[in-house]
Amino acid sequence: MILVRNAWRGLSAESPAGLRELIETIPDEAWRDDPVIAAAFGASYRTARGDRSRSALAYFEAALATLPADDPDAVIVRLQSAAALRTLGRLDDADDALDLAAEQAQAASAPGIEWRVTVRAMAALQRGMVQLHRGRYSDAAPLLAFADGLGERHLSRAEHVECLGGRALIAIGAGELDDAAGFVGQARSIAEGTLLLRSPFAATALIAELMVAVERLDSDTAHRLEVEIAAAAEGSDWEPFGWIATARLHALERDFSGALELIRRAGESYRGWHPAGSGAALGELLRAAILIRHGQGDAAWQVLSELPSDARHDLCAGRYIAQLRLVNGDVEGASAALAECDALGEAHAARTLAEVQLLRAAIEAERGNPVESALWCDRSLHHMQRTGTRSPLVMVPPLMLRELMNQAAARRQSPEIATLVERIRSAVDARLTAAGDEGGMLAPLTSRETIVLDQLRQGKTVATIAQELFVSGNTMKTHLRNIYRKLGVGSRGEAVRKAQTLGLYVTPGSPRGHSASPEADALH
């Protein structure tokens, strides 16, 4: 019993089944009425899969009903109860439990200084993880930093691993991928020689490691981590967030069906939370991005318009609205979508700022402002070079991106930036070549271009089309040039034939503002 009482926090995480077996070797009459042993038994279920994880809360509540409120053990059990509530997605209840634990700690009878420091470290960890789920990174950061500073002495190994994983996620939110990788490395070092990397306590670190790999387009590492996360996060509060992170990997590799299914599962899981975790909004943002890639502008707009605003633009729905409008030729609308981002300036969340900068570069290039375009583009390139992230590159249509990189290559750059630019140019050229070889489109058509294409299919002359659309001959030439460029063809006849091959059609009056295909329409 002494071993269980002294080591149950660590044993419950690293060897939950072993802890239960150890408790069961104790005669029933010796522990059935001992609230601390009952809490230890419950803690062994916190990492259990499925409905058994709910058993932890029942044991904690039973223990708390027996322990005096001013008993130091009651505070520790209350903190464990808060962790169990968080695991079940009951974030408000977890915060209430942490408030009550703080009150009990103040009134606890004769605790030593060491105990009080341990309680503060545990409380900071739990409060920080709840704030992380809420998407309040600026609130979570100092809490987890405080807990990490005390972790070696005052947290269990499992708690310290979870804390470092949380700090890694915050670092990713700040755009500091090297810092995130450093926290993950520390977590792996602490977990070495244990089974913790297969437990929910390591889920945050593994998810952060996958997100870094995705940002850096390291698909081999990301796919390895996908398997590890599936095992570690199963049944935990980090499982739906893990699905969102994995969905982003699938989306980047154009497995859109797989990505959408993961987002659906995550959304279904978050619906049982109170309140829903920030991962729910992140999943919806990713769903909108996929819809944009598939040409489903109206569906994407619906998703984006319903997303909550966030003060520092950690989510930054505006960048996707700008992308949607830019793809559809609405340059001024794209610029307006970034107005709030511009107003934030350097206070904008760093992780999404590089994407905003590259979008702004494309917008200014389309406006015919090469100097401003170059400034925005170079700022984004410097961010990508420093952090290793490559996610901004998917925000700009490939033809626009190629032109931006061609212009960047013509400017004087540092050797590191010049190398990065050449790598991006090669990748974009390969992508465009592959799209042409496969007979696909090099970029989506705008709504007006789709209408023009349909008029061409009907055999109307360019002059007639211009008259019916109330546009000048020069505007019509621009539309035709863009259609030929996006379809990878050189004539009117080739454009019509390729449109028929791709199954493009027009939905008059649709707010989509583009052509669509049956495959894309199925995503509605």
pLDDT of residue 509: 38
The CA distance from 446 to 484, in Å, is: 13
pLDDT of residue 437: 55
pLDDT tens digit string along 55-91? 888 889 989 999 998 899 999 999 999 999 999 999 9
pLDDT of residue 462: 86
C-alpha 383: how far from chain center: 19
Averaging pLDDT over each range in 13-27, 38-52, 508-522, which range is the top one? 13-27
Following CA atoms 2, 8, 14, 15 in sequence, which dihedral angle do they give, to the nearest 10 degrees?
A: 60
Q: How confident is the model at residue 114 (pLDDT cuts 50, 70, 90)?
A: very high
With a cut of 50, say whether residue 262 has pLDDT above it.
yes
SS3 342: helix
Q: How confident is the model at residue 49 (pLDDT cuts 50, 70, 90)?
A: low
Asked if 125 contacts 162 with a C-beta cutoff of 8 angstroms, the reply is: yes
The CA distance from 160 to 401, in Å, is: 42
Asked if 160 contacts 152 with a C-beta cutoff of 8 angstroms, the reply is: yes
The CA distance from 130 to 178, in Å, is: 24
What DSSP designation does 308 have?
Answer: P
Q: How confident is the model at residue 360 (pLDDT cuts 50, 70, 90)?
A: very high
pLDDT of residue 163: 98
pLDDT tens digit string along 382-426? 999 998 888 899 888 887 898 999 999 999 999 999 999 999 999
The CA distance from 396 to 81, in Å, is: 46
pLDDT of residue 78: 95
pLDDT of residue 446: 77
pLDDT of residue 155: 95
Asked if 444 contacts 323 with a C-beta cutoff of 8 angstroms, the reply is: no
SS3 514: strand
pLDDT tens digit string along 328-351? 677 888 999 999 999 998 888 888
pLDDT of residue 441: 66
Following CA atoms 235, 237, 239, 245 in sequence, which dihedral angle do they give, to the nearest 10 degrees?
A: 180
C-alpha triplet 319, 320, 321: angle, nearest 5°: 90
**Higher pLDDT pick, 65 / 522:** 65
Exposed e or buried b for every residue in 166-200, given b needs 16+ CB within 10 A? bbbbbbbbbbbbebbbebbebbbebbeebebbebb
pLDDT of residue 173: 87
Indicate the helix (H) or strand (E) that contains 140: helix 137-149
Averaging pLDDT over each range in 224-233, 428-437, 443-452, which range is the top one? 224-233
Q: Which two tokens stand for residue 212?
A: 């870094």
Query: Could you give the C-alpha distances from 193 to 14, 196, 287, 310, 336, in angstroms and in order?
Result: 11, 9, 39, 41, 53
Considering only the C-alpha atoms of the chain, give the largest distance between any 2 of them, rounded to a whole number of Å: 96
User: 111: buried, middle or exposed (CB in 10 Å: 19+, 13-18, 0-12)?
Assistant: middle
Query: Could you give the C-alpha distances from 483 to 110, 453, 460, 465, 491, in angstroms and in order?
Result: 79, 8, 16, 14, 10
pLDDT of residue 523: 29
With a cut of 70, say whether residue 521 has pLDDT above it.
no
Q: How confident is the model at residue 514 (pLDDT cuts 50, 70, 90)?
A: very low
Long-range pairs, 485-491, Cβ under 8 A, ≥24: 485/399, 485/442, 485/443, 486/399, 486/441, 486/442, 486/443, 486/444, 486/445, 486/449, 487/441, 487/442, 488/435, 488/436, 488/441, 488/442
3-class SS shares of the chain: helix, strand, coil, % to 5: 75, 0, 25
For the segment 19-32, the average pLDDT, to the nearest whole number, is: 77
Domain 2-208 sits in CATH 3.30.565.10 = no
With a cut of 90, say whether residue 26 has pLDDT above it.
no
The CA distance from 170 to 278, in Å, is: 13
With a cut of 50, say whether residue 488 has pLDDT above it.
yes
- Of 102-116, 147-161, 260-274, the poorest mean pLDDT is in 102-116
Three-state SS letters, 80-104: HHHHHHHHCCCHHHHHHHHHHHHHH
- CATH of segment(s) 309-436: 1.25.40
Residue 116 neighbours by CB under 8 Å, 6+ apart = 105
Indicate the helix (H) or strand (E) that contains 356: helix 350-367
Sequence ranges of the chain with CATH classification 1.25.40.10: 2-208
For the segment 356-365, the average pLDDT, to the nearest whole number, is: 95
Averaging pLDDT over each range in 105-119, 147-161, 249-263, 499-513, which range is the top one? 147-161
SS3 446: strand
pLDDT of residue 513: 36
What DSSP designation does 275 have?
Answer: S
- CB atoms near residue 405 (< 10 Å): 24
Residue 163 neighbours by CB under 8 Å, 6+ apart = 125, 128, 144, 147, 148, 151, 155
**At 357, phi and psi to the nearest 5?**
-65, -40
pLDDT of residue 38: 82
User: 270: buried, middle or exposed (CB in 10 Å: 19+, 13-18, 0-12)?
Assistant: buried
C-alpha triplet 128, 319, 274: angle, nearest 5°: 35
With a cut of 60, say whether residue 215 has pLDDT above it.
yes
Residue 43 neighbours by CB under 8 Å, 6+ apart = 8, 9, 12, 13, 16, 19, 56, 59, 60, 80
Q: Which two tokens stand for residue 194?
A: 């244990």
Nearest residue to 69 (alpha-carbon basis) of 124, 109, 127, 118:
109
Give the residues across from 516 on adjacent strands. Answer: 505
The CA distance from 160 to 169, in Å, is: 14
* Residue % of the chain over a pLDDT of 70: 90
For the segment 235-254, the average pLDDT, to the nearest whole number, is: 93
Exposed e or buried b for every residue in 300-314, given b needs 16+ CB within 10 A? bbebbeebeebebbb
pLDDT tens digit string along 174-199? 889 999 999 999 999 999 999 999 99
DSSP 145-209: HHHHHTHHHHS-HHHHHHHHHHHHHHHHHTT-HHHHHHHHHHHHHHHTTSSGGGSGGGHHHHHHH
With a cut of 70, say whether residue 286 has pLDDT above it.
yes
Architecture per CATH, 447-521: Orthogonal Bundle (1.10)
Q: Which two tokens stand for residue 116?
A: 């009080």
Question: What does the mean pLDDT of the chain come to?
Answer: 86
Sequence ranges of the chain with CATH classification 1.10.10.10: 447-521
pLDDT of residue 349: 86
